[in-house]
Chains A and B, each alone.
Chain A
Amino acid sequence: MATEVHNLQELRRSASLATKIFIQRDYSDGTICQFQTKFPPELDGRIERQLFEETVKTLNGFYAEAEKIGGSSYLEGCLACATAYFIFLCMETHYEKVLKKITRYIQEQNEKIFAPRGLLLTDPVERGMRVIEVSIYEDRCSSGSSSSGSSSSASGSSSGGGGGAGSR
């Protein structure tokens, strides 16, 4: 475990965060959790439009499944009510199960699609389901020239790399 910790530190030192963009919620269908599928201009050239939109659409599909109002959700609700909600002490709700699926999906997408392109998706649940945070990474060696002015000092609080690049 010590060598893995050491490797993680090394890896993190060589990557530097250039900027973060935030995909906002789409409220056109009401209060259910959906994210805008509009392709952000900052990702132009970094990832194929179709791949990105597909990822967001799949996430939207997962959230729609979690919040689906139907027979099984009513059954769960009524059963929970009948047990005065004590059943939630030993049982996971359907929503929680879907959120775990989403976490696994995002990890998979990061590994296979986003990280090889220098991007990283953050699970919306870690941002209060408000946004999908997309972190754009630059190589630390080239970050002095390529990091844009929009890489604000606020982003310097992350992995330590931005401090070296952004604070001028």
Chain B
Amino acid sequence: MSVMVVRKKVTRKWEKLPGRNTFCCDGRVMMARQKGIFYLTLFLILGTCTLFFAFECRYLAVQLSPAIPVFAAMLFLFSMATLLRTSFSDPGVIPRALPDEAAFIEMEIEATNGAVPQGQRPPPRIKNFQINNQIVKLKYCYTCKIFRPPRASHCSICDNCVERFDHHCPWVGNCVGKRNYRYFYLFILSLSLLTIYVFAFNIVYVALKSLKIGFLETLKETPGTVLEVLICFFTLWSVVGLTGFHTFLVALNQTTNEDIKGSWTGKNRVQNPYSHGNIVKNCCEVLCGPLPPSVLDRRGILPLEESGSRPPSTQETSSSLLPQSPVSVPDFKTLRALTEHLSSNEMPEDSTPEEMPPPEPPEPPQEVAEADK
């Protein structure tokens, strides 16, 4: 006897998230849309290291020490792990305000500033806050309809507000923000060390082998060496310089964005209120501090829509395309307590079938999703 199995396709929240991100592995991986340069980064690192392990390492392990390829492998694995972590994780995206929240904030703004006449562009919305005795301005983001937290910024490439926004890095194919800054820093640090290591041992290899068979013969035997040296040479100048710059930023607890804008420099500007004043403390906080989890909930299940409509294009950023508000479903006990309160306040009238509004499609799947949890 054959049994028909009906598989219900669940829609996960990542499929409906606004913003210009790409998601893979059913929402587990989150990247920017343009990934070409990221693939180039991967290719360069993998290619150079493959050549190094295939040719130079075999000679050097025998002639000098087997520890050489071991350290190289460790550096290689560490930099790949941190690269993938940087590229694939949520940088600290702040979800956009749901319609209720956006309306509430708009009401508050109008109450403070007064209504703007039709046709006029509203003034930039700014709230002032005092942090550690210094005034910090919070800007309103028109796209996300929220007041951005301090140090957050809207990335125009990914179309998201990101907490502690550093910069958008095309080489890792993602924004660098609060949640992945330490991975990014460790990636460029380990890549610098790896580049220096590979470069140095290529020189050693060429030197040692040239003593035996001559310089030109060496290059003819392993032409990959030339390629590796060239790649490492150019990488050195850029990556080591970048590592130095970010070490400076970490020591002062600043972001690239703040540095470029000159937020904390200049005599008329406020001092950085986030710095502890101590290099060690700043480094510890940025690199070893607590790591907040992603608030995007990419793999959460959305209530089933009526038809299999595709996710909207990101040009339409109106809030009506956001998922429906009832994301938080009160549990059974809470709702019972709530209804007991309500029924104890009023005499419950017998609601006739005509008065009851028709049951809405989203409701049953919500409970199923709840039951699934």
Residues of chain A whose beta carbon lies under 8 Å from any beta carbon of chain B: 1, 4-5, 7-9, 11-15, 20-22, 24-25, 27-31, 66-69, 73-74, 76-78, 81, 84-86, 93-96, 99, 107, 110-112, 115-118, 120, 122-123, 125-131, 133, 137-142, 150, 152, 154-155, 157-161, 163-164
Counting chain A CB atoms within 10 Å of each CB, which of B132, B340, B341, B356 scores highest?
B341
Residues of chain B whose beta carbon lies under 8 Å from any beta carbon of chain A: 77-78, 81-82, 85, 94-95, 97-105, 107, 129-132, 136, 138, 146-147, 149-151, 163-164, 182-183, 186, 273-274, 284-285, 287-293, 295-297, 324-328, 330-343, 345-346, 348-349, 351, 356-357, 359-360, 362-364, 367-368, 370-371
| Set of chain A residues within 8 Å of B273, measured between Cβ atoms | 30
State whether A86 and B81 are in contact (beta carbons under 8 Å apart), knowing that A29-B131, A73-B288, A107-B331 are contacts in the complex: yes
* CB-based nearest A residue for B273: A30
For the complex, give the distance between the alpha carbons of A125 and B95 in Å. Answer: 10
| Set of chain A residues within 8 Å of B331, measured between Cβ atoms | 107
Please determine whether B341 and A12 come into contact, CB atoms closer than 8 angstroms. no
Please determine whether B77 and A84 come into contact, CB atoms closer than 8 angstroms. yes
Please determine whether A127 and B356 come into contact, CB atoms closer than 8 angstroms. no
Please determine whether A131 and B81 come into contact, CB atoms closer than 8 angstroms. no
Counting chain B CB atoms within 10 Å of each CB, which of A73, A107, A117, A154 scores highest?
A154
State whether A116 and B371 are in contact (beta carbons under 8 Å apart), knowing that A74-B284, A155-B100, A155-B325 are contacts in the complex: no
Please determine whether A158 and B326 come into contact, CB atoms closer than 8 angstroms. yes
Please determine whether B82 and A118 come into contact, CB atoms closer than 8 angstroms. no
Please determine whether A74 and B341 come into contact, CB atoms closer than 8 angstroms. no
Please determine whether A126 and B150 come into contact, CB atoms closer than 8 angstroms. no
Please determine whether A14 and B342 come into contact, CB atoms closer than 8 angstroms. yes
Q: List 18 A-B contacts (CB under 8 A).
A: A4-B332, A12-B335, A13-B356, A14-B342, A15-B335, A27-B138, A66-B290, A69-B290, A74-B288, A78-B288, A81-B182, A84-B78, A107-B331, A126-B327, A130-B146, A139-B346, A154-B99, A154-B100
Please determine whether A93 and B290 come into contact, CB atoms closer than 8 angstroms. yes
For the complex, give the distance between the alpha carbons of A93 and B290 in Å. Answer: 8
| Set of chain B residues within 8 Å of A133, measured between Cβ atoms | 100-101, 328
A164 to chain B, nearest CB (A): 5
Picked from A1, A7, A27, A154, the residue with its CB within 8 Å of the CB of B103 is A154
Please determine whether B345 and A8 come into contact, CB atoms closer than 8 angstroms. no
For the complex, give the distance between the alpha carbons of A130 and B342 in Å. Answer: 29
Q: Which 8 A-B pairs have the closest CB atoms?
A: A77-B288, A115-B337, A128-B95, A115-B338, A84-B81, A154-B99, A139-B342, A122-B328
For the complex, give the distance between the alpha carbons of A146 and B37 in Å. Answer: 58
State whether A69 and B335 are in contact (beta carbons under 8 Å apart), knowing that A84-B78, A152-B103, A157-B325 are contacts in the complex: no
